[in-house]
Amino acid sequence: MCVRTALAAEDNGTICLNEIRIDQPGADNDEYVELKGPPGASLDGLWFIVVGDGTTAQGSGVIEVFVNLAGKTIPSDGYLLIGESSMTAATPDIVTSLNFENGDNVTHMLLRGLTSTNGADLDVDDDCTLDQGAFIEIVDAVTIGTSSTPPAAGAECGYATVVGPEKDAQAMHILRCRSGGWVRGGDAIVGGDDTPGTVNGCDATSSACQGDLNGDQVVDNADLGILLVKWEFPDPSADLDGSGVVDGPDLGIILSRWGACPV
């Protein structure tokens, strides 16, 4: 779940990571991370970082992406989007260089009171536990994994709950359901389930509008496209009948709920 955090002089409210894309088919123009929180909440004292590998001498726990959120606030819609200038899926609230790594275990984190800088090693002894004293608090974190029990041979440590892999592939895109859990999203942006800057639709399996996979309050071709992207995956965000896999019965539910959601 999202974590409530308070700074010395002000309350951040509930701030969390909500959606992340680290890769995509073709050129990586749309890498992004989305934060969710109370509109107007201050982000002073918080940093968004990505921890992965460094030099051979450094090993695991090295800061690869470093975004100081001082002076920023959660926009009025409740979502803050961090992306590069090349992003086309949405307009970022913060434009910065990300260049997310993929192919290794990477941990995306919100930290409070970070005292280190980009490139610093936060796990000097490589024991898969971040060193004390480098920050005050882990506000939120998730590992996008290449192995279900990191660290695997030759891989970096994971420092949070691991999402993926599935079918021997690391997730390119992950999103957080309203229930608090992370699920793997579709690889492709076009016809996929990316919702940068807006509400995630992955809780549709238990919502009053079952089948509304993108959260737009209507079951239509967009939701059908998302279902097909997840076909034969054990993805709870589109496994509408809870069978453990996205298949024909889930398609039947989509078709039976076709149209506008009940008011």
**Which is nearest to 191 in space by CA: 243, 229, 134, 245?**
229
Q: What is the pTM of this model?
A: 0.74
For 207, residues 6+ apart whose C-beta sits below 8 A from its C-beta are: none
Cβ(184)–Cβ(192) below 8 Å:
no
Residue among 39, 42, 62 at smallest CA distance from 50 = 62
118-174 confidence digits (pLDDT tens): 999 999 888 889 988 889 999 999 999 886 554 455 567 889 988 877 766 888 999
Establish how many alpha carbons lie within 13 A of residue 168's alpha carbon, considering only the half-sphere containing its beta carbon. Answer: 0
Q: Domain 201-263 is classified in which CATH homologous superfamily?
A: Dockerin domain (1.10.1330.10)
CA distance 263 to 260: 9
pLDDT tens, position by position, 20-62 = 999 998 889 999 999 999 899 999 999 999 998 876 667 889 9
Measured N-to-C along each axis, helices 221-229 and 248-256 cross at an angle, to the nearest 10 degrees, of: 170
Q: Indicate the domain borders of the chain.
A: 1-194, 201-263
First-last CA distance in the chain: 28
